[in-house]
Amino acid sequence: MSEAKRLAGEKAIEYVEDGMIVGVGTGSTVAYFIDALARIKDRIKGTVSSSDQSTERLRAHGIEVLDLNATGPLSLYVDGADECDPRKCLIKGGGAALTREKIIAEASDRFVCIIDPAKRVEVLGKFPLPVEVIPMARSLVARELLAMTGGQPVWRQTTEGQGVVTDNGNLILDIHNLSITDPTAMEQAINQIPGVVSVGLFARRRADVVIVGGEPPTVF
């Protein structure tokens, strides 16, 4: 599947224009995009990064990483996804970077999503839906998510059995066993729970363009 990710990441370079500041997502597909971006780094003004992981990779390539507060709105955001439905609604956050990803997506005129074919689904929800929560609200939010969605919220752990801590110092609950027929309504409802920082449903601000890696890549 990494070949499909590479093909998607490299195709996204076609959306980068000279002088742009490019919003950069997080994950293994985005890593291919960053590597391709490095080859044309002299043609762009810089990037805004959605995670410490991406910032590290960008800087290792000598690509400038800027503060979103200083750049203002962006023309382009490129990011991966964990699931994508036919209306370009997404589940994101498998890499725990959903909040900064959502902020950059919102700040960008065009969101180009890069995926491998396995990410395409008819209905979102097989991939557990990530929710970033303030630590003291973890149990409260888990109870409310259970009652609201009928899915099973699970506190995400590292391989060493510690709670995963996001770049923002928060925790992740993954909601299992969902079938999300109205992603916009679910996104809105989960956002209302006190203690929720953000939910990894990208429906209100969904992708504008989806590139599915393959030989050749398909775009919809």
Which of 37, 57, 58, 80 contacts ligand 5RP by CB under 6 A? 80
* In the complex, minimum distance from the CB of residue 175 to ligand 5RP, in angstroms, rounded to a whole number: 15
Please state the closest distance from residue 44 (CB atom) to ligand 5RP, in A. 21
Estimate the crossing angle of helix 2-11 against helix 28-38, to 10 degrees: 50
- Is 57 a binding residue for ligand 5RP by CB under 6 A? The answer is no
Is 160 a catalytic site residue? no
**Residues with Cβ within 8 Å of residue 16, at least 6 apart in sequence:** 22, 37, 40, 43, 44, 76
The residue range among 40-48, 62-70, 92-100, 133-141 that interacts with ligand 5RP, by the rule CB under 6 A, is 92-100
Q: Decide: is 54 part of the binding site for ligand 5RP (CB under 6 A).
A: no
> Cβ 147 to ligand 5RP, closest distance in Å?
26
Residue 60: burial class (beta carbons within 10 Å; 0-12, 13-18, 19+): exposed
* Interacting residues with ligand 5RP (CB under 6 A): 25-29, 79-82, 92-98, 101
Looking at the annotation, which residues are catalytic? 101
